[in-house]
Amino acid sequence: MNQFFKNVPFVKYEGSHSTNPFAFKHYDANKVLMGKTMAEHLRMAACYWHNFCWQGSDVFGGNTFDRVWHRPMDEMAAAKMKTDAAFEFFTKLGISYYSFHDVDVSPEGNTIKEYIRNFSEMVDVLEAKQEETGMKLLWGTANAFSNARYMSGAASNPNPEVFAYAATQVFHAMNATKRLKGENYVLWGGREGYETLLNTDLKRERAQLGRFMQMVVEHKYKIGFEGTLLIEPKPAEPTKHQYDYDTATVYGFLKEFGLENEIKVNIEANHATLAGHSFHHEIATACSLGILGSVDANQGDAQLGWDTDQFPSSVEEYTLVTYEILKSGGFKTGGYMFDTKLRRQSTDLEDMFHAHIGAMDTLALSLERAVKMIEDDQLAMLIEQRYAQWNQPLGQDILTGKHSLQDLAQYAANNDINPQPVSGRQELLENMVNGYIYR
């Protein structure tokens, strides 16, 4: 397995003093923290699409990457070559999982029958590659957004035949994910939204989207898929407004259609910031609602207003996120999936390794810092103290419904209550967190 990345050795852990650019400085897969190895805690995955499908173009410029698997050849031959390159990369990198869209790994073809035939053949190839390498599938999904037929949405499209085409893709992608022992299935509604309200029936489109998700749940049970179904929130881009705006919006949608116990969320860092939230906020919200499933680990650029999908480099940001995940019990079937792409100027094949090595080291450092925060328990203790009065009789009586609004007003007057402000000690807490991150 040394056909495409001949200049790159198998990446190993060498420690923080190593100067080897092809070595992990902090990610020691077998290091045990809180009873689990780093690999078990982080469950990191590399994506198929940005690494092996994207050619370095953007809306203002053409391709900058010259990859051998992108050169002119028979489409199925190219797909198989791309798979060879992908699994060589995954294996040399030493990552545990990968993720894909259906048309990442298989030519879409000119007809729906060609799509089905091509995808079926490539699932055979993926299965053989997984058996050969031991690589695991974190999640699969269907690309129901790139083709022109989806310009007005997939499930939310005005044309039911487009809905049916998307259902066909999801049907086959779910079946493939089950066969490949995928641990999750993601539903990313890349164009499930609107550009203008002048031609949009919001109620109708939400109903269509709700029925689509119900069908997905029904199919999960029909085929015996034991993984987790995930919706990935995103506020906008490419549409003006998407129905899965953020975690709280998705939860309201799930409640409306009776799916709150069937589907969880796959949070992407860059999508959180596009929604005007912090990544930390979106993770904490998902944890509080009991719907955190998995995470797309990336980051945006604070000076750019779109989804730049950069590799994560902020230990500060990911320490707080990992802290929330650990507090909620850690990942179950999900993990950290690098939905990330190189900068267009990073044209060398070796840059793919440098980017992932840095990102994996960032998550490893963040995990170590978050574990210290959990073990010391100072933040949790201070939060518990702040809300301690809710554990007293008055607080418990309010929460259990023993007081009406009139009763509570009478209690306040009878006891002449005069609550005084108590410091939130934000700066102290920020200093504490910095102490864990930078010591």
- The owner of tokens 């030519």 is 107
Tell me how far apart the alpha carbons of residues 427 and 432 are, in angstroms, rounded to a whole number: 9
Axis-axis angle for helices 279-289, 247-256 (nearest 10)? 30
- What pLDDT sits at residue 317? 97
Residues paired with residue 263 on neighbouring β-strands, in sequence order: 229
Quote the DSSP letter at residue 239. Answer: S
Q: Is omega for the bond preceding 72 within 30 degrees of 0, making it cis?
A: no
**Residue 101 bears catalytic tag:** yes
- What pLDDT sits at residue 1? 67
**Residue 104 bears catalytic tag:** yes
Dihedral (Cα; 199, 239, 241, 47), 10-degree rounding: 150
> How many whole angstroms from its chain centre is CA 313?
16
Residue 24 host element (H or E): strand 23-24
Q: Which residue of the set 41, 101, 219, 281 is catalytic?
A: 101
Per-residue pLDDT of the chain (439 residues; tens, 9 = 90+): 679 999 999 999 999 999 999 999 999 999 999 999 999 999 999 999 999 999 999 989 999 999 999 999 999 999 999 999 999 999 999 999 999 999 999 999 999 999 999 999 999 999 999 999 999 999 999 999 999 999 999 999 999 999 999 999 999 999 999 999 999 999 998 899 999 999 999 999 999 999 999 999 999 999 999 999 999 999 998 899 999 999 999 999 999 999 999 999 999 999 999 999 999 999 999 999 999 999 999 999 989 888 999 999 999 999 999 999 999 999 999 999 999 999 999 999 999 999 999 999 999 999 999 999 999 989 999 999 999 999 999 999 999 999 999 999 999 999 999 999 999 999 999 999 999 999 7
Q: Which residue of the set 28, 102, 104, 309 is catalytic?
A: 104
Axis-axis angle for helices 315-327, 279-289 (nearest 10)? 0
- What pLDDT sits at residue 17? 97
